[in-house]
Amino acid sequence: MNDYSLLSRDVSAAAARIERWIHRTPVVTSNYFDRISRSHCYFKCENLQKVGAFKFRGACNAVFSIPDSEIQNGVIAHSSGNHAQALALAAQFRGVRAFIVMPDNAPKVKQAAARDYGATITFCASNLAARETTQAEIIENTGAIEIHPYDNLHIICGQGTSARELLAERPDLDCLIAPVGGGGLLAGTALAAFAHSKHIKVFGAEPINADDAARSLAAGKIIPSVNPNTIADGLLTSLGHYNFSIIQDLVEGILTVGEEAITEVMKMFWQRTKLIIEPSAATAVAALLNYPDHFANKKVGVIISGGNVDLEQLPWQ
């Protein structure tokens, strides 16, 4: 895949399609983070998006892209949490059912939120094979349409609308940072940057304990995520094929950070900005702070991917 001009236009089309359903989230600055990063930081607060995460953008774009004649049996996905909530709410707005396959160790707060948005949840073991097998059985029984959490071009383009909004507000950015799990947000961010300026450098941020994206980029092929062990539960999955192709061509690099750094930055962000962010979002901020040679004296946009945390299981407790 290399027609990025066409895909970039799809990001613009997604922005128009979902505008009435999403929040245009604020961009927040912080003198404290400017000082300790020695850069000029602009945080795009998708933790304040509907369902508390950027995922609503992609889910909304995907659900509203399906013709009426094809969506009557509902939609389905497997998800550890944020995509589940996002798809459930998008389906609710579209007036169709949402079936969610969720690992049995998914955070309780995300389980409860998906139910609140009307999802029918089926639990399975916490591995990809179990997710896919369970999902296939439900599709056979219901006829629901799969909306993959990240390896789907409508999802990718929908996620890219966050960076598109950020660049409309701050057109002079030098760099963008987005966390990477399956790669939907990072690929979409890269497409939005490509459409805006070929001079913007886009970086992914990833836990070192779940560094399959960094290893995949170095190897030139997808290396699956095997037994990741990180508090950033939204970044556990392997890269999707569509995502990897875009990331290979348009992303400058993947920056890895340790668990302690993620925890400390999460706490620091809560304290300094008074905004709740989840570990996956803190991973991107940790990359900003841990790689000063990349960002010092530059204008850096950071996608704060989400704010869904289980207050009974905070990483510093």
Residue 298 designated active-site: no
Residue partners of 157: CB distance under 8 A and separation at least 6? 7, 10, 11, 13, 14, 58, 61, 188, 191
Does domain 56-146 correspond to CATH entry 3.40.50.720?
no
Among 204, 186, 300, smallest CA distance to 257 is for: 204
Per-residue CA distances from 258 to 53, 167, 208, 280 (Å):
22, 29, 5, 12
pLDDT digit string (tens) for 189-234?
A: 999 999 999 899 999 999 999 999 999 999 999 999 888 999 998 8
Percent of all residues in the chain with a pLDDT value above 90, rounded to a whole number: 83
DSSP sequence for 158-197: HHHHHHHHHHHH-TT-SEEEEE-SSSHHHHHHHHHHHHH-
Q: How far apart are the C-alpha atoms of 209 and 52, rounded to whole Å? A: 25
Does domain 4-53+152-304 correspond to CATH entry 2.40.128.20?
no
Per-residue CA distances from 170 to 179, 198, 253 (Å):
20, 15, 22
The pTM score is 0.94
Q: Which of 8, 37, 39, 55 is catalytic?
A: 55
**82's tokens:** 């944020």
Which residues make up the CATH 3.40.50.1100 domain(s) of the chain? 4-53+152-304, 56-146
Amino acid identity for residue 260 in this structure = E
Measure the CA dihedral 144/145/151/153, to 10°.
-160
Residue 44 designated active-site: no
**93's tokens:** 């707005």
Check pLDDT > 90 for residue 278. yes
pLDDT digit string (tens) for 145-199?
A: 999 999 999 999 999 999 999 999 999 999 999 999 999 999 999 999 999 998 9
pLDDT digit string (tens) for 109-145?
A: 778 888 999 999 999 998 878 989 999 999 999 999 9
Check pLDDT > 60 for residue 1. no
2: confidence class by pLDDT, cuts 50, 70, 90: low
Residue 243: its pLDDT value, please? 96
Q: Which of 37, 65, 79, 80 is catalytic?
A: 80
